[in-house]
Structure 1
């Protein structure tokens, strides 16, 4: 299947890179954009629920998220465009990404809205939504991980990823927003089921076969 350049995916990547690079050099901006549940709750700074998706901790964090988004976002956007048409398909991808980012903030917010010491940032939750939408839609695909010299079936990676992120979110103390990763992934699954419920049964039929 030949892919073409998809503007929504590329536009998100360009915007995120530009804003993240600026935030690297501007600590005040980074503080204002970061997800800070305490400030959201006590100061009504609701914009932080989305603004943190555009900033990252360092270049490695930024590169990894944008690489995964580039790898899976193009495919998912192509699928939506093919399935819904060019205009509506792009809208669906836009909603998947940004609503995924919002959904990924729900669990961290409920756990930390009175915690003045908790802050997080990055597009990992939104990217997880795209990744898991892709896994549910195409369980027959494969995923390569760094330092593992073989392809992991997408459906198996998805199950292991969810189990790992849920366990680590309960364990805590890692400095990584595992709960946001888990929430974004769950949203990606729900979004696909809402727009094409048959993908759920197809997924289980595939792995059982």
Structure 2
């Protein structure tokens, strides 16, 4: 039996770890620089990722504001006089006015809510689910070489069209039921990015329920079919019309703006 030299084993482990880290950095860096005639792709990647993280951060800040207004936590270092129930209620009313989509916004010219409502989430599961899907579909679009301007345009466009679709559908429902409703969340944008990614990287794989692998186009087709079936459900609390509007906007955006302008389409990475 040979003697176990802990110090030597630790040294070899650290050297191997450093070598693998250097190799990973080299491969990541050269993925974007080794393609002839495309040195700007790394810059596109960095800026688009920055936009993605900015959207995530904005969603997190708005979620924090909702949570504070619901008295779920207090801000350390802020005096109790500035965190009273009255001030929290004032914050909630402000969020309701400016960060949810509703038919009265059209009459009162609050057009900005068609964008701000997309970054608004009240429940943590709603926020986390949307951000996970947002990151997944962004991954596929970024690795086709989309420009930051086109990526930002896709986010803004699908948010607005998704909310317009929901408002149109909700206005029809209110004529019958007389019951107003509010919508919020990033899912219209998620569906739009998913639709665009289905055309840009149709061979990409996603996991249904986090388990079953399937092509992204099949996943999106199934989700669109489900939303179409449920759009007029009187019991569903999901904005199916916003999903459908966002998906339609994403498909049209790909056809009019992205098609033929994605230098890595067909060779982008898959998860």
Task: Select the structure of larger CA radius of gyration.
Answer: 2
1:203 paired residue number: none
Q: CA separation in 2, counterparts of 1:94 and 1:196?
A: 12
Q: Are 1:20 and 2:70 matched, yes or no?
A: no
Q: Given the alignment, which residue of 131, 150, 153 partners 1:66? A: 131
Q: Given the alignment, which residue of 222, 236, 240 partners 1:178? A: 240
1:164 paired residue number: 226
- Quick check: which one's helix share is greater? 1
Select between 105-114 and 53-62 the one with higher mean Cα deviation: 105-114
TM-superposed deviation, 1:76: 1.2
Q: CA separation in 2, counterparts of 1:49 and 1:79?
A: 28
Residues 130-153 of structure 1: CA distance to partner in whole angstroms, max 9, x if unpaired?
A: 111111111111110226x33012
1:140 paired residue number: 203
Residues 182-203 of structure 1: CA distance to partner in whole angstroms, max 9, x if unpaired?
A: 111111111111124469xxxx
Q: CA separation in 2, counterparts of 1:65 and 1:125?
A: 10
Q: CA separation in 2, counterparts of 1:24 and 1:33?
A: 16
Q: CA separation in 1, counterparts of 2:137 and 2:170?
A: 31
Q: CA separation in 1, counterparts of 2:101 and 2:135?
A: 27
Normalised by the size of structure 2, how large is the TM-score? 0.64
Residues 117-168 of structure 1: CA distance to partner in whole angstroms, max 9, x if unpaired?
A: 1111111101111111111111111110226x33012221121111111111
* CA root-mean-square deviation: 2.2
Asked if 2 retains the 8 angstrom alpha-carbon contact of 1:24 and 1:30, the reply is no
Q: Are 1:44 and 2:102 matched, yes or no?
A: no
Asked if 2 retains the 8 angstrom alpha-carbon contact of 1:52 and 1:122, the reply is yes
Q: Are 1:98 and 2:189 matched, yes or no?
A: no
Q: Given the alignment, which residue of 164, 168, 189 partners 1:126? A: 189
Q: Given the alignment, which residue of 100, 104, 109 partners 1:35? A: 100
Aligned length: 191
Asked if 1 retains the 8 angstrom alpha-carbon contact of 2:161 and 2:245, the reply is yes
Q: CA separation in 2, counterparts of 1:8 and 1:141?
A: 22
Normalised by the size of structure 1, how large is the TM-score? 0.82
Query: Structure 1: any 5+ residue segments left out of the alignment?
Result: 82-88, 200-209
Question: Quick one: structure 1 residues 172 and 192, their matched pair in 2 at CA, closer, same or farther if it must change by over 3 Å?
Answer: farther
